[in-house]
Chains A and B, each alone.
Chain A
C-alpha cells in the first residue's frame, strides 16, 4: 500500500459513503428516534438530529483535514460540503426506501414516526429529500470549516458547544435540583425554554465556553505554574487549602443539591470505589480481571445475609458489623480465586476470571442455594446503616457513607501506588519475567493486588446492598465488570483521578439521559474500541511520578521543571 497522500473525487465519495453508512446505522439502531424528544435548544435542535448529522460533520471534518494537506483551502471546504451532500443523500435514500418498502419487518426502528423525523419538517417527499441534501451539505461544510479554523478557535468552539450540550441535557436535573429555590427561578427562566435551552441561554453558554477557552489558551491563566514558582512552604499551604476547600465542597454537596442528584452521586461513588479497586488489579498490576463483579456480589450478599430482617433473616447484624465481614470475605474470595488463575498468561486470565464471574452468577441464580440467598428473588429488607439514633435513610445521607468509602479506598490506593508494593505491581505489569528476576515474588504480589481490588469491590458491594435495601442476582452480571473496566480505561488506566473522571462521565452522564439507557452498552463498547485505537492512555493519564516526587525534593540541576498542568480540556 502506498502511503502517498492523495485526495481525489473518489475520496469524496468514499468519505461521503462512510458518513452515510454511519448515519444510517445511527438511524437503524434507534438513536434518532429515541433522542428526538430531547431538545437542546428551544424546540429547534434536538439530540436526535445531532446524532443523525454528527457523522456527516465528522467525516466533513476528516475530509477537509486530509484535503487541505494537498489541495487549497477552498477545495477542502468544497470537498467537505460534498461529503456532507453524499451523506445526506444516503439518509434521503433511506427515507425514500422506507416510505415505499416495509423495512420494519426487519429493521424495527424504521417506524412511521422515524420517517416523519427524517422528513425534517417537510411535508412532501421531494422537499424532504432536498432538505436532507442541503442540511447534509451545510453540516459537512461546517465540519470542513472546523477543520480549517485555527486550532485555538476550533478548540474554543468545541468547548463552547460541549457546554451548551451539557447544559441542555441538564435541564431536567437543574429544575429538579434548584426548581424551588428562589435565587434560581429568574436564572432558570432566562436559561431554559420549555424544552431545551433558550436561545439566550444557548448563546450565553457558547460565549462563556469560547471565552473561557480562549482565555486559558492565551497563557494568562496558569495557576499551576504560578503556584509552582512559589517557595515550598507557601506551595504546601496552598495545596493544603485547596484540599480543605475541596473536602468542604464535597461535604456540603448533598445539602446543596438535594435528593435526586445525591442519588446519582452515590451511584457514581460506588463505581468510583470499584474503579479504584479494579484500577489496582488492571491498572497497576496489569491483570485483566473480567470477573470483578463477583467480589462486588460477595460484599453485597454478605451484608444482605447478615443484616436482612426479611424472609432470609439470619443473625440480623447491623450494617457496621457486617461491613468488615463483607470486605474480609471478598478479600478472601480474591485470594482463593486468585491462586489458581494467577499463573496464567494475561489473556487467559481475562477469560478465566470472566468464567468465574459467570459461575458465581449461575450458582447464585440456581435453586441449589436458593434457601440461603434467595435465587432470582434476591434478598429483601436489608436495613439502612445506623449510628446511634441516626439512620442513613435518604440518598443525601448515604452519600456520606459512600464519600467516606471513597476517601478511605482512595487513600489506600494512593499510598500503595508509590510504595514498594505499588512499584512491584507496576514492574510486574511491565515485564513479569524481569520483575521476578528483580526479586518480586510473582504469586504473592499478584495475590496482594487481587485481594486489595477484591476488598474494595466488597466494600462497594456492602454499601450498594445497604443503599438499595434489597439485592437481586441480575444486579451482578458481567455488565458491571465491563462498566468498571470501561471507566478506568476512559479515565486513564492506572490513574487515580482518572477513575473519578471516568466514573463521572460513564456512570454520571447516562443518569442524566434516561433515553440513553438503551444505548449505554453500545456506547461503552464503542468507547472501549475507540479508546484503544486513539487514546489508549485515557483522558486523565497516569502521570509519571515526576511531579509528586519533585514536590518533595528540588529538581536536579540541568533538567527543566515539568510543564504546568496541561492546557487542553
Chain B
C-alpha cells in the first residue's frame, strides 16, 4: 500500500502538501481569530476592503492581460511589461500637470481623463512595440531562458531610463475634484468611492473591448491562429510578425489605461512604480491560467481582493504587528502557492484551445 503510494509520489510532493496544509490552517485560524475572537474591525469595513480590492484588482487585471496575450503567442514572460505600464503613466503625468495648471481638469474632467489615457496608451504602446522590435524579435526560437534574461535586462534598463529622464523623485498626480467622495448616483449615495467606481467601470469596459477584439475581429482571430500554431498560421497567409507586434501593442494599450487608473487610485508615480504591480499582474495572469484572457481578468480581481483583505483578515488574527507591511508578501505567497499546486491556473492555460 505505502509502497504503491510512494511509487506515485515523491517525498517532495508530501513536503509540499504539508506546506500547503500549514498555510491553509494559518489562513483559517487567522480569519477565525479576527472575525470571532478579537473582532477588531466593524463589519462595514470588510465591504470597503473588498471594493478597494476590486478596484486595485481591475488595474492588475488590465496589466495581466498584457502578460497573458504575449505569453499566449510567444510563450515568453515579458518581464518588462511593468515598465511598459510605467512609461505611459509617468509620461502622462506631465500632461496632467499642464492640464491642472491651466484649469482644464476642473472644467472638462472627462475630456482631460480621455486625453491622459490617450497619451499613456500611446507611450505604452510605443515602449512595448519598440521593446519587441529591438529586444525580443531577434531572439525568437532561442532557448527559453534567453528572452527571459533579455526581458529582465530590458526591465531594468527602462526603469533607470525613466529615472534618468524624468528624475528619481515621487511625483503626485493632480486631483480630479469631480471624483472626490462617495459615488452619488440615482439620487442616493453608494458605499463606494467615485474613483473606485470609475476605475472598475473603465477597466471592465476595456476588458470587454479586448475580449471582443480577440474573439470577433479579424486581427483577433489572426492572433488566436498564431497562438495555436505559428507555422500553420504563416502558411495560411497570416503575417506572423505583424500579429506579434499587434499583440504587444494591445497589451501596451491595456497597460497604458491601467496606468491612468492606477494614478487615479494611488496618485503617486515614480520610475520604479511598475515593478511590483508588474509582478502582481503576472501573478494574476498565472492565477487565471497564463495565456487565458478571461482568466487574467478573474485572476486580477481575485488577487486584488486577497491583497486587500488578507492583511487585516488573516495576518492580524495571527497576531502579526503592522500587517499591512506584509501585503506584498501575501501576493507573492499566493503566486508561489499557485505555481506549486495549480501551475495551469484556475481556468487553465493558453489563448488557444489546443494543448502542447
Contacts and interface: CB of A to CB of B under 8 A. Distances in A.
The answer to whether A and B touch directly, with their CB atoms under 8 angstroms apart, is: yes
A529 B150 CA distance: 5
Contacts of A526: 153, 157
B152 A351 contact: no
Interface stretch (B25-33, B207-215, B325-333): B325-333
A533 B166 contact: no
Interface centre among B10, B152, B154, B165 (most CB of A within 10 A): B152
Interface string B25-67: 0000000000000000000000000000000000000000000
Contacts of A362: 325-326, 328-329, 332
B335 A525 contact: no
Contacts of A528: 149-150, 152-154, 156-157
B342 to A, nearest CB: 12
A367 B315 CA distance: 13
Contacts of B135: 529, 533
A345 B166 CA distance: 37
Rank and list the top 10 A-B pairs by shortest CB-CB distance, nearest first.
Answer: A528-B153, A525-B157, A29-B164, A525-B156, A522-B160, A355-B332, A108-B167, A529-B153, A366-B325, A367-B322
Interface string B52-88: 0000000000000000000000001100000000000
Contacts of A482: 152, 156
A521 B159 contact: yes
B279 to A, nearest CB: 7
Contacts of A358: 279, 328-329, 332
A109 interface: yes
Interface in B269-313: 279, 282-283, 286
Given A352-B335, A362-B329, A524 B153 contact: yes
A28 B164 contact: yes
Nearest to B20: A340
Contacts of B340: 340-341, 343-344
A48 B164 CA distance: 15
B174 interface: no
A106 interface: yes
5 contacts: A288-B145, A346-B148, A368-B325, A521-B156, A533-B135
B146 interface: yes
Contacts of A345: 343
B167 A359 contact: no
B107 interface: no
Contacts of A518: 164
A529 B154 CA distance: 6
Interface stretch (B11-19, B175-183, B188-196, B228-236): B11-19
A345 B279 CA distance: 17
A15 B2 CA distance: 70
Task: Find the residue from B142, B146, B156, B159 having the highest chain A CB count within 10 A.
Answer: B156
Interface residues of B, number: 53
B320 A368 contact: yes
B122 interface: no
A434 interface: no
A363 B329 contact: yes
B110 interface: no
Contact of B157 (A30, A108, A522): A522
B22 interface: no
A351 B165 contact: no
A163 B346 CA distance: 57
Contacts of A489: 149
Nearest to A107: B165
Given A346-B144, A355-B279, A359-B333, A525 B155 contact: yes
B139 interface: yes
Given A366-B322, A443-B10, A532 B139 contact: yes
A370 to B, nearest CB: 8
Contacts of B165: 28-30, 107-109
B237 interface: no
A532 B149 CA distance: 8
A359 B12 CA distance: 22
A164 to B, nearest CB: 27
Interface residues on A, range: 35 or more
Report whether over half of chain A's contact residues are helix, strand or loop; otherwise say mixed.
helix
A306 to B, nearest CB: 25
A134 B320 CA distance: 66
A308 B269 CA distance: 39
Contacts of B167: 108
B12 A529 contact: no
Contacts of B76: 347
B181 to A, nearest CB: 31
A215 interface: no
Contact of A485 (B19, B149, B286, B329): B149
B329 A359 contact: yes
A103 B155 CA distance: 26
Nearest to B95: A106
A285 to B, nearest CB: 12
Nearest to B157: A525
A347 B77 contact: yes
B144 A30 contact: no
B349 to A, nearest CB: 11
Given A109-B165, A362-B325, A526-B157, A290 B279 contact: no
Contacts of B184: none
A342 B286 CA distance: 17
Interface in B203-258: none
A72 B135 CA distance: 32
A354 interface: yes
Contacts of B279: 351, 354-355, 358
A361 B282 CA distance: 19
Question: Taking each of A340, A345, A529, which has the highest tally of chain B beta carbons within 10 Å of its own beta carbon?
Answer: A529
Interface in A340-384: 340-348, 350-352, 354-356, 358-359, 362-363, 365-368
Contacts of A342: 12
Interface string A6-38: 000000000000000000010011110000000
A536 interface: yes
B158 A525 contact: yes
Contact of B145 (A107, A346, A352, A363): A346
B12 A339 contact: yes
A536 B326 contact: no
Given A529-B157, A532-B139, A522 B336 contact: no
A341 B124 CA distance: 33
Given A105-B94, A288-B148, A529-B153, 10 more contacts: A28-B164, A106-B94, A358-B329, A358-B332, A368-B322, A521-B156, A521-B160, A525-B154, A528-B154, A532-B142
